[in-house]
Every structure is written in structure tokens, then in C-alpha cells.
Amino acid sequence: MSEQGILVVVSGFSGAGKGTLIKAMLDRYHSYALSVSATTRAPREGEADGREYFFVTREKFEQMIEEEQLIEHAMYVNNYYGTPRQYVFQQMADGKDVILEIEIQGALKIKERFPEALLLFVMPPSADELRRRLVGRGTESEEIIDKRLHRAAEEASGITSYDYILINDKVEQCAQEMHELIQAQHRRVSGNLDFIEQMKAELKAV
């Protein structure tokens, strides 16, 4: 079996429960590492450097781009966001599957550069359920919720670039499905060419 970790990109509609799902995965299984993005935006209350994000200056971020320390980066609302290369590759070399929670644009850039990356899209069981969850949060106005649903409809067009969808109905079950799906990828022929070559050589020798 392939001992090199897999790069797993997770995207999904706002309100689909990506954060809770990933937390459940990391709590339950210990073969995963969560990639922490770098950003130039200011920390919000309760956010810690190196936990939610690596908070860096614009100057530092541009230096990271320059030195190719990021495997993808993008700008949203005048702030940079990017994925530091070193952590991701170190964890993968150590056999950890690395989870990257990023937006569609970033996900497509990753797939272009790393075709072996696994792209997962998290969906609610239905649009009604998504609306219920957004309303249930109680933190957003009707207007913001409509905007999020409208954005989700737009984002849905990008799903066809992903490999698999995950329906997040019950979070524990979805975490297990996500785990099984990632483990299945370790059995891909393309990730086991060394093992196959070794078997071929052994078969000739016995």
C-alpha cells in the first residue's frame, strides 16, 4: 500500500458543515493533518496564529509568493490567502493525508498542479436543509442568507471539477464516509506503482 500521504482538498457550500465535518474526522482518525493557510487579513477575536491561520504581513506574503513557498494563493476582499508548501509536503512524506479546506478557485489550481490530489465537495442533503442550517445559526440576516444561497447556486456549477461529493446529513456518518473514501485512494494503482514493480520482480525470482 502507498505510504505517501494524499493531498485532500475539501470545499463546499457555506452552511454545509465543512468545519464540523473536518473536526470530527481529525478527532476520530489520526492519520490526517490539517493544513493551515497563511493570510494577510487581521485575526478575528478568538483566532490564534498558527491555528486558524498563519497571520502575516502583506510584505511577508509577497515574499512567500516570490520564493514559491505557497502551493496556491488567491486574493479575496483585498486580502491574500494561501497554502504553505513546506508543511503540506512534510506531512505527506511522513505518511499523513493532508486536508486542505479551500475555495473552488484554489481547489482547481491544486488539481492542475497536483493531478493526484483528491477533490471533495461537501453538500447538504437538500437546499431546504441548507437554508434551515443558515437560519438556525441565528447570526445572519435574511438578506445575507439569500446571498449565501445564491452564491451556493453559482458554486454548484464548479462541482463537476471535483472527484467526489459527500452528503453531510449526519456528521459522524459523513466523517466515516470521508475517511473510507480517502483510504480507498491509497489503493489506486497510480499510487502503488512501486509495489506493483516490486511484486513483478519477486514473481520472476520465486
Min dist CB 12 to its own copies, Å, is 12
Please report, as ranges, the residues that interact with its own copies according to CB under 8 A.
1, 121, 123, 126-128, 130-131, 149-150, 152-153, 156-157, 159-160, 162-167, 177, 180-181, 183-184, 187-189, 192-193, 195-196, 199-200, 202-206
For residue 97, give the H/E element and its range: strand 97-101
Residue (24 or 38) nearer to its own copies, CB: 24
Residue (36 or 100) nearer to its own copies, CB: 100
Min dist CB 202 to its own copies, Å, is 3
Residue (42 or 206) nearer to its own copies, CB: 206
Which residue type sits at 37?
S
Can you tell me the distance from the alpha carbon of 83 to that of 75, in angstroms, rounded to the nearest whole number?
A: 12
Closest by Cα among 113, 125, 115, 117 to 182: 117
Going by C-beta distance under 8 Å and a sequence separation of 6 or more, which residues neighbour residue 56?
Answer: 38, 39, 40, 64
Can you tell me the distance from the alpha carbon of 206 to that of 200, in angstroms, rounded to the nearest whole number?
A: 10
Min dist CB 92 to its own copies, Å, is 20
Helix axis angle for 127-137 and 142-155, nearest 10°, is: 140
Which residue type sits at 122?
V
Residue (4 or 183) nearer to its own copies, CB: 183
Residue (6 or 70) nearer to its own copies, CB: 6
Min dist CB 121 to its own copies, Å, is 7
Min dist CB 106 to its own copies, Å, is 18
